[in-house]
Structure 1
């Protein structure tokens, strides 16, 4: 974990409540896709945890969904704003276990960490299949970005307005050759993906309300087959075999 100042360089609106933010600063504490940052915002007692979408040596990219006062303040910040950021939080995905054809399953804003993950899997020589789920076609974002990486891309919308009608699991059933999954999204989606019989292994990114973000307050503890774990410190990535629903 590292505390440092980042400068907001760029904000791009992707949908009605989804924004892409690029921050410049010291990203040396970020070592794996799936980690997150915790950002202090004026007037808010608690920091806001945000998944890392992608990063370079001197820049950090975040995808932010506006859900309250804190995230609204964040996306309305003007370029040049300095932000107090705790970076390198969480354990991240372990790409060594991916195999040659991993599956990346994301729902809504949960697709954010899968972008940086896909890029690093491709650099490792893997060929990931990316399955994304949204409520409607109007909610869809980052398809072009994933396609530009060269990923095999599958899409589902609940109303059928774009891609397969249904949920992301309806796409996954059509790729039985993918048996290892990296998943991030709302809890019902994670539970449904976990239950698919074709998946023999995987890593799941969990969300929880956090106080500190680095394991001191124990406020984000969840039960697992190996005892209680803190989502912020021992997660947010949990392995398929240890998850208790």
Structure 2
């Protein structure tokens, strides 16, 4: 159920030059699936900031965010011990499927919501292949964290400064094309992953959300059954229901 709650910051530190990890202490009973998100109140801004969950336990939420504007700049300055207001109970997350193998594909700040999904899949005995995409080496994060879970990890950088040179979709070859897949990242990447795969998957869309609970219709996505709101019917949707054309 959606509600506004108060959380205490237990950790807020950089993973890269502009990507931060924040751990919040508070109620987590509302979390049902990996891939859900929260909407953080920014004291200096009108709109809240939607951030996907990276991980969670009985008393904490872990989020990873990129500093790109005023709101996330404010977040990066918040100190341990500060209490912040958060809108919770948001979004439909990933639904882990029963399968022998799974492919997880994340780009940039689309990587974090795949972490808890990876953990859950491996606990179910699934062999997980993870492909992480970044622009350059200095932007890479969480490679070792996925490896520690037991996943096989491939890192791609556009400029070739680390790992495999190129885009994540170029790695989806051979058997990987037939694995059930889960992906989160910018829209062009999601479309490329969709095109590269021979099977169905689940896609988590990144959208700027005005309200976070479906009132403004500002984050709608065109599907086979009409427009759906990323903040309510998403952010995770089935690959086969998405209409990729703009008309």
Q: TM-score range by the shorter chain?
A: over 0.9
2:236 is matched with 237
- Secondary structure at the counterpart of residue 117 of structure 1: helix
1:158 is matched with 158
- Secondary structure at the counterpart of residue 72 of structure 1: helix
Map 1:130-149 onto structure 2 (within 5 A).
130-149=130-149
Cα displacement string for residues 63-121 of structure 1 (whole angstroms, at most 9, x for unaligned residues): 010010110101110011111111221000011x2522010000011001000110011
2:29 is matched with 28
1:221 is matched with 220
Contact 1:103 1:178 in 2 (8 A): no
Displacement of 1:168 in angstroms is: 0.6
TM-score by length of 2: 0.95
2:111 is matched with 111
Displacement of 1:184 in angstroms is: 0.3
Distance 1:242 1:80, change over 3 A: same
Runs of 5+ unmatched residues, structure 1: none
Displacement of 1:150 in angstroms is: 0.8
For 1:179 and 1:111, locate their aligned partners in 2 and report how far apart those are by CA, in whole Å: 18
Runs of 5+ unmatched residues, structure 2: none
Cα displacement string for residues 178-204 of structure 1 (whole angstroms, at most 9, x for unaligned residues): 4211000111111100101x4311000
Cα RMSD (Å) = 1.2
2:195 is matched with 195
- Secondary structure at the counterpart of residue 102 of structure 1: strand
Displacement of 1:175 in angstroms is: 4.1
For 2:177 and 2:39, locate their aligned partners in 1 and report how far apart those are by CA, in whole Å: 37
